[in-house]
Amino acid sequence: MIASVNAGMGTGTNRQTGAAGGWDAGLGGGGWRVRVRGLGRAAAAMVVVMVGMLELGGRAVGLDAAAANRMLGRGINLGNALEAPEEGAWGMRLEAGYFTAIKAAGFQSVRIPMRWSAHAGREAPYAVEGGFRERAAWAVDAATAAGLVVVLNLHHYEELYADPGMERARFLGIWRQVAGQFRDRPETVYFELLNEPHGKLTEEIWNGLLVEALGVVRASNPERMVIVGPGRWNNPAQLPSLVLPGGDRSLIVTFHYYSPFEFTHQGASWVGANPPPLGRRWTGSAEERAAVGKDFAAAAAWAKAAGRPLYVGEFGAYEKADMGSRALWTRVVREEAEKHGMSWAYWEFGSGFGAYDRGAGAWREPLLDALVGK
């Protein structure tokens, strides 16, 4: 193996070089670049993590949150698979080829929503079914082998949203198992405590519960990167209400962006009896762009004051909108996120918002270009 390190040249990508079958890998946003020869893609990614654990003075430390957030870079959600009540129930099953296709398209990370609560016992210790644990491990390892940074979370924990007091111990018990199961995975595997707290899980209750959950995670993963977001569906307007433990610096803050909702969710039957009507377009007018810019500037101002990096964990427009509007909105949101140094994950890969047409085995080019094009 031959490795060389160049500071200030990172692009946030892993790619094969023409010389000696090597791999280039590095952090984005003006970080560093590592050139590795004689190793495959997955092994080269591990070298990146090892190098990232060194400060310029040579003292071994974990990646700081800002560097870890740059490693997330451009990502995509593998939604509607492991977040369904049972994988396949919503028409989506994960395949190994999806991870390699995502990497080859130019993405650096993948977020894998998982409904652990549908597979956990109702009584202590709230044991998670072995089959689901194995499937989750397969997904994480397949993504890692493809050279992707991985975000695994607790998704659609409906019981917790409805009755946080009753579900508190179970939520913590599930995290105790998840954290223990993945404690030996590389630092390129991040945990996200909970998707979109809402309902009776108020901001005040969530602020207390997230500290408890962090305590559970830190018992087995003291330096693991953990992602956490505000209440009311990870609404960016709620960032000021998020209270984080000041002593834990291995945290990345997330929010989700679907504004204007009347455009992104037109015809979406799952939002209620009266979904936004069809026909809403997004033309990229000065007014429309200004609204997006204002939202992202406010989030960036909060992040600067709080000293926390931001990850836009979800954004996307449902397939009932016209493709031209979807692609333009997606590009504008992506550009705003990147302008402010935020990492992101598009919602989602291959279902109703999908950037990838699973039937055709090909990317939807307008969306792919909006996400990773120039």
Q: What is the pLDDT of residue 63?
A: 79
Mean pLDDT of the chain: 88
Question: Which one of the listed residues 196, 287, 288, 365 is annotated catalytic?
Answer: 196
Residues 214-238 have pLDDT tens digits of 999 999 999 999 999 999 999 999 9
Burial group, residue 94, by CB count within 10 angstroms (0-12, 13-18, 19+): buried
Question: Which one of the listed residues 314, 319, 335, 336 is annotated catalytic?
Answer: 314
Q: Look at strands 226-228 and 2-7 and give their pairing.
A: unpaired
Mean pLDDT score, 137-163: 98
Tell me: pLDDT of 242 over 60.
yes
**For the chain, the helix, strand and coil percentages under 3-state DSSP, each to the nearest 5:** 40, 15, 40
Q: Is 314 a catalytic residue?
A: yes
SS (H, E, C) 43-87: HHHHHHHHHHCECCCCCECCCCHHHHHHHHCEEEECCCCCCCCCC
Structural domains in the chain, CATH included, are 2-52 (no CATH), 65-372 (3.20.20.80)
Confidence of residue 35 (pLDDT cuts 50, 70, 90): very low
Q: Is 203 a catalytic residue?
A: no
Q: What is the pLDDT of residue 38?
A: 46
Residues 40-93 have pLDDT tens digits of 444 444 444 444 433 323 323 457 999 999 999 999 999 999 999 999 999 999
Q: Report how far residue 82's alpha carbon sits from residue 113's, in angstroms, rounded to the nearest whole number.
A: 6
Prediction pTM value? 0.84
